[in-house]
Amino acid sequence: MEDTKRMALLGEKFPSMKVNTTHGPKNLPEDYAGKWFVLFSHPGDFTPVCTTEFVGFAKKADEFDKLNTELIGLSVDQVFSHIKWVEWIEEKLGVKVPFPVIADELGRVSNELGMIHPNKGTNTVRAVFIVDDKGIVRLIMYYPQEVGRNIDEVLRALKALQTTDEHGVAAPENWPNNDLIGDNVIVPPADNEELVKERLDRAESGEIECYDWWFCHKKI
């Protein structure tokens, strides 16, 4: 039976690929070993919504860097188009784009990662892949061409992933600004009677807070 390729899913290794970028050739995910990276696609250079997104990512680049995370852009435009566009952004808008942009003019990378949706045309949709320091895909988001992304949400999700990894917890809705528990994190639910008692004992001692044995939270 013939092998069919499919895009990587959450928890799987990001597919190994060599790409041409505005910063020269790169090997993904190998060149980013030990670092997280956010790969995001845009429909096209010299377009208004994409320009606002690139400005947004560029202005937040230092915040991603503090989280040991590199940014990588991508579209099906040629590399010279990318170069001229980032030059235009710096010249006209006063914002330097510090991250590489992949020139996927043949669509190989975009097709492998599911960034081209036939019903939305031949350009890439606005996809976001967050990949951890071991090369594992941790989050995937898709936006249509007509809706720009929220860069703060990409940052929030990245911080949540890194925090839950470090502390073995879960993050609630809109963490760290959840309406119920604020910046607390969720303790993994008990899955046996002994853990139920342990959770309730910890709540009684004030170590954690619980609405019930299956819904406990704490500060970190």
pLDDT at 121 (0 to 100) = 56
pLDDT at 144 (0 to 100) = 84
The model's pTM is 0.92
Contact 209, 217 (CB under 8 A): yes
Q: Tokens for 94, please give them.
A: 């006063």
**Which CATH superfamily does the domain covering 168-220 fall into?**
Antioxidant, Horf6; Chain A, domain2 (3.30.1020.10)
Higher model confidence: residue 140 or residue 2?
140
Does residue 3 register a pLDDT over 50?
Answer: no
Backbone angles phi, psi at 71, to 5 degrees: -100, 145
103: left (phi over 0), alpha (psi -120 to 50) or beta: beta
Does residue 2 register a pLDDT over 50?
Answer: no
Comparing CA positions, the residue from 98, 92, 130 lying closest to residue 23 is 98
Does residue 6 register a pLDDT over 70?
Answer: no
pLDDT at 115 (0 to 100) = 78
41: left (phi over 0), alpha (psi -120 to 50) or beta: beta
Does residue 33 register a pLDDT over 90?
Answer: yes
Which residues contact residue 215 at a Cβ distance below 8 angstroms, ignoring those fewer than 6 apart? 186, 189
Catalytic residues: 50
The beta strand positions in 14-84, using DSSP E, are 17-21, 24-28, 36-41, 69-75
Could you check whether 17-150 and 168-220 share the same CATH topology?
no
Q: Tokens for 125, please give them.
A: 């949709």
- Contacts from 210-215 at CB under 8 Å and sequence distance 24+? 214/189, 214/190, 215/186, 215/189
Q: Tokens for 164, please give them.
A: 């839950």
Instruction: Give the start-to-end residue ranges of the domains of the chain.
Output: 17-150, 168-220
Task: Tell me the CATH class for 17-150.
Answer: alpha beta
The model's pLDDT over 168-199, given as tens digits with 9 standing for 90+, comes to: 999 999 999 999 999 999 999 889 999 999 99
Residue type at position 215: F
pLDDT at 113 (0 to 100) = 85
Question: What is the mean pLDDT of the segment spanning 39-52?
Answer: 94
pLDDT at 4 (0 to 100) = 43
pLDDT at 119 (0 to 100) = 64
The model's pLDDT over 97-153, given as tens digits with 9 standing for 90+, comes to: 999 999 988 778 888 887 767 665 556 778 999 999 999 999 999 998 889 999 999
Does residue 5 register a pLDDT over 60?
Answer: no
Higher model confidence: residue 116 or residue 80?
80
The percent of residues above 90 in pLDDT, for the chain, comes to 79
Strands 209-212 and 215-218: antiparallel
Does residue 24 register a pLDDT over 90?
Answer: yes
